Amino acid sequence: MYSFERQTLSNGTELILVPKKSSPISAIMVLVRVGSQYETKNINGVSHFLEHMMFKGTKNRPKAIDISSALDGLGAEYNAFTNQEFTSYYAKVQHTSFSEAAHIIADLYLNPTLPKEEIEKERGVIIEEINMYEDTPARRVQELFIQVLYGDQPAGWDIAGRKEVIRTLSRDDFLSYRNTHYISGNTILIIAGNYTPKTTKDIVRLFEQLPPQPPTPLPAVSESQKKPAELVQFKDSEQTHVVLGFRTCDIHDQRRFALEVLADILGGGMSSRLFQRIREQLGAAYYVSADADLYTNHGYLRARAGIDGAKTEVVIRAVLEEFVRFREESIGDEELNRAKRHITGKLLLSLEAAEEIGYFYGMQVGMGLKPIQPQELTKHINTVTAMDIRAVANDFFHNAGLNFALIGPFKDKSFIDILNT
């Protein structure tokens, strides 16, 4: 369906080209292998803060308005994101304006000035962003779940950081961090859609100016658990938000395909087991879902729901019972095939946009996988058997490895007795 080309530039920067001449859109994405998992505690949040600062001015466009007005004037859709392992900057635009948009993204990545006065102003923006997350319990409870899983290590810290650290980060901290991680060996340049060879050459020439440096190593994740763990946070609210789940495997493990199908059966859509049981039968939740989130060197499966607080224990028991069913019962053909079609259908629909197909290949490269075509990924999903799913459930769904996070109107309340059943 899509062709792609992967090259390694002379300085070690990875280049991924995904041409689609029929598209009216072109996109540029710069992916850098650095995120919160690379941080130390005294600079937790610097990856995300730096992402904001990259838009605050460059040598060629000294002010933030120079960047935003130029991209807006092209009709571009642009943004950036930070997660545990990656930070990325992107823009997509009509293909006739792609050269200009690509040069702007290259400029902000390669030539940021990080003005001190803008750092001071942006502190308040970041802190308000953290406040927003804290006031959004459906999101915040997922961060608590990560804390339960990984504790006081980079994999367990919030991506946005802690307010006390955000208030103290200096310009030197940003410069040191950027000089360490925004290097050729960590950079993946992705160009997708309807672009010209000349534009590609021009942009590649800019990224070849990065001095050749090897990638920085990804810190290891410490995994240790001998009994169920919980984190309950009080919030005087009508709705209670819960997440339950287990550590699983990383993205390189071949069991990931079975795990993905299991997660879809568990909570991947309105026909999933959790949706039917918790929302349709119990009437206990508005949102309910499950997913497997896998990274380069760790991963987990989680089920989450926003529920009626009075039904909290009933819902917890229902989720635990569904976990056990995967260990003890085989999936029927109808349910298995429906989940496979759901996964592969969503995948192909998601790849209609130029930037999404670019990230599809770019993330594989970034995580050290051999990039495969969407069709090959669907083949892996379609070969998953009921026996594979039962086996992966028996590998990971053990009471001693259970983790639980909750935000709701519970003071001095523990759910460990239920988790131990």
Average pLDDT score over residue span 273-285: 97
What is the structure's pLDDT at 3?
Answer: 83
Average pLDDT score over residue span 139-167: 97
Average pLDDT score over residue span 24-28: 96
Contact between 307 and 319 under an 8 Å Cβ cutoff? The reply is: no
Average pLDDT score over residue span 168-184: 98
Q: What are phi and psi of 159, to 5 degrees?
A: -65, -40
Sequence-separated (6 or more) residues with CB below 8 Å from residue 307: 239, 240, 241, 242, 278, 284, 285, 288, 315
What is the structure's pLDDT at 295?
Answer: 97
Looking at the DSSP assignment, which residues form a beta bridge with residue 239? Answer: 308
Question: Shortest CA distance to 232 belongs to which of 307, 160, 140, 310?
Answer: 140
| pLDDT more than 70, % of the chain | 100
104-120 burial code (b ≥16 CB/10 A, e <16): bbbbbbbebbbbeebbe
Strands 25-32 and 14-19: unpaired
Q: How many CB atoms lie within 10 A of CB 220?
A: 12
Question: Shortest CA distance to 13 belongs to which of 189, 140, 158, 149?
Answer: 189
Average pLDDT score over residue span 370-379: 94
d(CA 32, CA 218) in angstroms, rounded, equals 12
- What's the pLDDT band for 352 if we cut at 50, 70, 90? confident
What is the structure's pLDDT at 1?
Answer: 61
Specify whether 51 is catalytic.
yes
Which pair of structure tokens corresponds to residue 418?
């239920």
**Owner of token pair 């892996």:** 380
Looking at the DSSP assignment, which residues form a beta bridge with residue 351? Answer: none
Provide CATH code, domain 5-207.
Answer: 3.30.830.10
Give, rounded to a whole angstrom, the gap between the first and last alpha carbons of the chain. 48
Alpha helices in 256-352 (DSSP H): 256-267, 273-274, 312-328, 333-350
Compute CA distances 400 → 83, 140, 212, 265, 365, whole Å: 28, 24, 46, 23, 34
Instruction: Provide the residue type at 31 as one letter.
Output: L
Strands (E), 155-258: 187-193, 229-234, 239-247
Question: Shortest CA distance to 140 belongs to which of 400, 405, 355?
Answer: 405
d(CA 37, CA 150) in angstroms, rounded, equals 11
Average pLDDT score over residue span 105-119: 98
d(CA 159, CA 161) in angstroms, rounded, equals 5
- What's the pLDDT band for 421 if we cut at 50, 70, 90? confident
Average pLDDT score over residue span 288-305: 98
Looking at the DSSP assignment, which residues form a beta bridge with residue 299? Answer: 294
pLDDT greater than 80 at residue 240: yes
Lowest mean pLDDT among 75-84, 297-306, 344-353: 344-353
d(CA 340, CA 325) in angstroms, rounded, equals 19
Helix count and strand count (H, E) for the chain: 16, 11
- The alpha carbon torsion through 369, 375, 377, 380 (nearest 10 deg) reads -130
- What's the pLDDT band for 419 if we cut at 50, 70, 90? very high
Average pLDDT score over residue span 341-348: 96
CATH architecture of 229-419: 2-Layer Sandwich (3.30)
pLDDT greater than 90 at residue 353: no
Contact between 327 and 333 under an 8 Å Cβ cutoff? The reply is: no
Looking at 39, 51, 118, 230, which residue is catalytic?
A: 51
3-state secondary structure of 270: coil
d(CA 68, CA 80) in angstroms, rounded, equals 13
Q: What are the residue ranges of CATH 3.30.830.10 in the chain?
A: 5-207, 229-419
Average pLDDT score over residue span 164-185: 98
What is the structure's pLDDT at 222?
Answer: 94
Average pLDDT score over residue span 126-143: 96
pLDDT tens, position by position, 191-236: 999 999 999 999 999 999 999 999 999 999 999 899 999 999 999 9
